[in-house]
Structures are given as C-alpha cells and as structure tokens.
Amino acid sequence: MKKYAVFLFAVFAMGRIMAQDPADLLLKSRAKCLELNKVYYEMTEWFKPMTDRDTGITTSICWMKKVKDDKVFGCFFHYQFSVNGQGTGDGIYTGEELLSSFPPDSSAQLIPVKQYPDEVKSRAHNHIFRMYKPFRDKACFPCLNDDGSLKKEYGIQLLPDENVGSLPCYHISIIQDPKTFDNGFMVLLKNEYEYWISKESLLPVKYNFYLRGILNRDTADQFFSYALKNIRINDREVDKQIMLTSLPSYFRIKTYEPEKTVPLLAKGTAAPDWKLVSLKGDTVSLKQLRGKVVLLDFFYKSCYPCRLAIPHLQEIHKKYSEQDVVVIGIDAVDKKPDDLKAILDKDGANYTVLLADKDLPKKYQVSGYPTIYIIDGEGKVFFAVSGFGESLAKIFEQEINSALGGEK
C-alpha cells in the first residue's frame, strides 16, 4: 500500500511539474490568445523610452474583433485612451475606415481604406502601439516557433507565482542571448520579456518588455509594461462599439486629404533668418553668422537617426573649429531643456543647440528628421538633405569644403 501511495504521489508531482513547464504554459497561453474572437479589456500601460528619463502612463479601454482576412491589423477595433490623465482619444478601425480623434481641438480624421491603403498602413504602428499585443499578434511570444518548440536563442525561466490584482498567475521570464541580437541602431545588451499568465484562463494578464542598449556610447534602458483588468470574452458590445457612430458626438470628423510633398529649400535660396536662445542661454541669430558656413541640424532627442547623427556632427564641429564653420542643432519638438542637455552631454556634443517653435521647421520645409542644411557665407542654402546614414557624414564635409571655396 505504501509503495502504491508513493507511486501516486510521484505521478501527481510529475504531472504538476509538467503542467508548470514554462514553454508549455506559454504555448497554451498563445493558443488561448489566438482563439479569442471578440474581447473587451481595460489596460494600464507604462512606457519609458530609451531617449527619455520620464515614464508615461496610458490608461485605455478596447473593444477588439479578430478578422483573419484583414491584412493591416488582423482585427477591427475601437479603443479610447488617456495619456498621463490628459484628454481622451479614440482609434476606430472598421476595415473600411480608420478614424483617429484629437482631444485638444475635438477633431477627428477619417481615412477611407480603399482610397488610401498606403496611408493606413503607414499609420498602423501608431494604433498597434495602443492595443494589447499578446491578444492580436502571436509574435508577442518571440521565443516560440510555430510548432511550439523553444527557439535556441532564448532562455526561459518559471519564476515564483504572483497575483495581478486578485488573479493568481504563473510568472515567466524570457531572456534573449545577447550574441543573437541584430539591431542597426544600437548595441543591444539585454532583451527580456515577462508574462503573468492567469491560472484560471491561461490568458496573459500582464506583459513586460525590457530593453537595454548602448546608443552613442551611452547605456540606456527602455521598457513597456501592460496590465489588464475586466477582460470580457465574447463581449456583446464589441460589434456596436466598432462603428463610427460610437465616436462621441462632439468630435468634428474631417476626411483625410493627402498633403502635397514640399521639397527642401533649393540651393541658392536665401535661408530664412532666425533669432533663438541656446541651451546655455545665449541669443544666436543666422544674420550674425553671415560670412561663416553654417551646418543646421533640425532634430529632436527621441529620434534615433537624429541621435546617430550627433557624434558625426560633433566630429565636424571639432575638425572645423579653427575655420569659419559653425555647427548648430535646432530642436523645435522638445520642451524640457534640462532633459535635452543631459542627452547631449551623454552623447558628448558641445556644439551650439538652439530651441525653436514649430514655425521655424515649416519655414525650412522640414517634413522628416533629421533634416540638415548647409548655409554658405552669404546666407544662402548650399546643401540640404533629410535623413541620416553614416555615408552622409563624408558628404557633409565635402559640401562644407566646397562652401568654404575649395578642398581644405
């Protein structure tokens, strides 16, 4: 009898261990997410970007309906969100229209999908960012192959159980082997995912993504954390809510019209004058720099290509410090000078950086970042380009040398 009891205990214990195998739990959780059809949930999101010290908090509610044939989102949806408690915006996608509302002026923009498919696709990321990724994208479980096997570049660990709200949950950590990272923007040091899987429903009710990397010789961290509550499966309100008529009546809806692409200012054009205050408190104007070659960099701190350009612009600043060449950064996006200064200090940039309002980039016809102008000694545009790649650094020097009157 004792042997039989021991055998039963062993079988029970083995079953318990197998049930708590983390890869198996993730596979079952992914399957539950893929089975979802109509779902309602309430979500709190915490987000700290790599290029900022502050953490933003977004609260949202979402009605979502899976649609296998939809090539853009894979679902129809209506979400309402508030960032740091400011305003309430909506995103609605019916398959035929994509609507975005803008709380500050109570306006909303409607994009007909068939008429502007490329525009809808270009904006998809902005809406995907607002929704709970595990419910709509199986790639949110990156360590699993389609057959449920574990990818070799990931390590997986079952951590002690935790509650999310009042829900008992399995807690799983996944860390990618740093040797397998492939990222063109930065050197990645850590890539970690965490899941809290409800023991009752096997749905992931909390999801974290943590990233650490070296960007311009500075170690920085970025993380997302999403926590759900009040999940309702097969919610009866979903179809009713995923309609344009569910948008609050005070929003004024305007149908999208493509903006005409405006080219950068042409070579030989008189550069618009400006008078701005630097991060050091000095007042600088383009007029007072007449006689010098000026490299203007329109940038902002959360723009990865902008950050990649900074060390190269610093090298140009250093190389031409004894000549009539001035490197100036112009930021018309960021509103916190101390945060911007901290980023530039970490990147080792000591050239002049000026703060501007949004009117100045418009005068220079800036539509993408970074945008770089080289102004000659007469105050005219000598060279202009939008975007950045390392090959451009040499071109900047060539254009500066030409603007100075020859090779230096």
State the sign of the Cα–Cα–Cα–Cα dihedral 14, 15, 21, 23.
positive
The per-residue pLDDT for 55 is: 87
At 14 the pLDDT is 42
Could you tell me the pTM of the whole model? Answer: 0.72
* Helix or strand run (H / E) with residue 235: none
Does 226 reside within a domain? yes
Residue ranges of the chain whose pLDDT lies below 70: 1-19, 182-186, 216, 406-408
**Does residue 282 sit in the same domain as residue 388?**
yes
Determine, yes or no, domain membership for 233.
Answer: yes
- Asked if residue 205 belongs to a domain, the reply is yes
Burial of 393 (0-12, 13-18, 19+ CB in 10 A): middle
Domain count, the chain: 2
Boundary-marking domain end, from 255, 283, 313: 255
Last residue of one domain, picked from the residues 255, 285, 302: 255
pLDDT at 239: 96
For residues 101 and 230, membership in a common domain is answered with: yes
Per-residue model confidence (pLDDT) at position 53 = 76
Question: At 322, which CATH number?
Answer: 3.40.30.10
pLDDT for 216 equals: 65
CATH of residue 118's domain is: 2.50.20.10
Both 246 and 332 in one domain: the answer is no
pLDDT at residue number 17: 42
Q: What pLDDT score was predicted for residue 181?
A: 78
Q: Is residue 316 part of a domain?
A: yes
Confirm whether 65 is domain-assigned.
yes
Q: Give me 280's structure tokens.
A: 């050091």
* Domain shared by 230 and 344, yes or no: no
pLDDT of residue 184: 60
Domain assignment present for residue 182? The answer is yes
Taking the C-alpha atoms of 243, 61, 46 and 101 in order, what is their torsion angle to the nearest 10 degrees?
A: 40
pLDDT at 297: 97
- My answer on whether 244 and 294 are in the same domain is no
Asked whether residue 228 falls in the same domain as residue 289, the answer is no
Domain that holds residue 398: 275-404
pLDDT for 227:
97
The answer to whether residues 318 and 368 belong to one domain is yes
What is d(CA 175, CA 188) in angstroms, rounded to the nearest whole number? 12
Q: Are residues 313 and 249 in the same domain?
A: no
Task: Examine the fold and report which residue of 255, 284, 315 is the final residue of a domain before the chain moves on.
Answer: 255
- Distance (Å, rounded) from C-alpha 19 to C-alpha 22? 8
Residues 302 and 399 in one domain: yes
Q: How high is the pLDDT of residue 353?
A: 95
Contact 318, 294 (CB under 8 A): no
Mark whether 324 and 246 lie in a shared domain: no
Are 248 and 279 contained in the same domain? no
User: Is 125 contained in some domain?
Assistant: yes
Q: Report strand pairing: 371-375 vs 293-299.
A: antiparallel
Report d(CA 176, CA 156) in Å as an integer: 9
Does residue 270 lie in a domain region?
no
Instruction: Say yes or no: 244 and 348 in one domain.
Output: no
**59-65 long-range CB contacts below 8 Å, 24 or more apart?**
60/130, 62/130, 62/131, 62/132, 63/38, 63/39, 63/235, 63/237, 63/238, 63/241, 63/242, 64/36, 64/38, 64/39, 64/40, 64/131, 64/135, 64/136, 64/238, 65/37, 65/38, 65/238, 65/239, 65/242
**pLDDT (0 to 100) of residue 61:** 96
